[in-house]
Chains A and B, each alone.
Chain A
């Protein structure tokens, strides 16, 4: 944690037990990993340019998840809460609309169905593609882990 950060916003998305009134037993994420990892780096870079934040981490899971498990984490710290909330809200919205991620929901009886999506939005950011090493935990995470975000 940066000493000059006055607030940290943490958004944690979890698997719900129902969709449109139908019971959900779990789901499976499919990810275009090579593209998604670049998108994450670009989105972090874009957000750093748009808001005076101190640090940001975006993590999305891949593979099979059970109800209640964490699917996505957005963590943003800033000097003041306003920009931390704004940047975190922007990040999760962009992850939902512009990342190459799909999910199949598992219903009772083991039946799977693809969740309805929206056409992928292309990134408007002019931020250069960064090639910095993707230190774990960050980006797309497949392995089962209890602590997704480390101090």
Chain B
């Protein structure tokens, strides 16, 4: 098993009801598996599924990116800085 840190921002944080949490996943898990687990745990997150981008260790990533112990997976709703 590996442990990854899920981090939720803005609308995703509100939908999940938490800023973040640790997930235990099988070895050879990818970003998609982490997202599936997050959606299972927090069904409200599904409403944001299409709008959300994912950052893996602070870089925008794809769903097939492999995960390793200690990775940070952040859910980023549409942004609006400035």
Contacts and interface: CB of A to CB of B under 8 A. Distances in A.
Interface in B48-82: 51, 53, 55, 58-60, 74, 76-82
Contacts of A95: 81-82
Given A35-B55, A100-B76, A101-B79, A120 B60 contact: yes
B80 A32 contact: no
Contact of A32 (B74, B78, B82): B74
Nearest to B82: A96
Contacts of A35: 55, 58, 74
A17 to B, nearest CB: 16
Interface string A92-113: 1001111111111000000000
Given A35-B58, A120-B53, A122-B60, A30 B9 contact: yes
Interface of B: 7, 9-11, 13, 51, 53, 55, 58-60, 74, 76-82
Interface of B is mostly: mixed
10 contacts: A32-B7, A99-B79, A99-B81, A101-B82, A102-B9, A114-B77, A117-B78, A117-B80, A118-B78, A118-B79
B81 A38 contact: no
Contact of B82 (A92, A100, A119, A123): A92
Size category of the A interface is 20 to 34
B78 A100 contact: no
A119 B55 contact: no
Contacts of B78: 116-120
A123 B74 CA distance: 16
A72 interface: yes
Contact of B79 (A13, A71, A104, A117): A117
A97 B60 CA distance: 13
Nearest to A103: B80
A25 interface: no
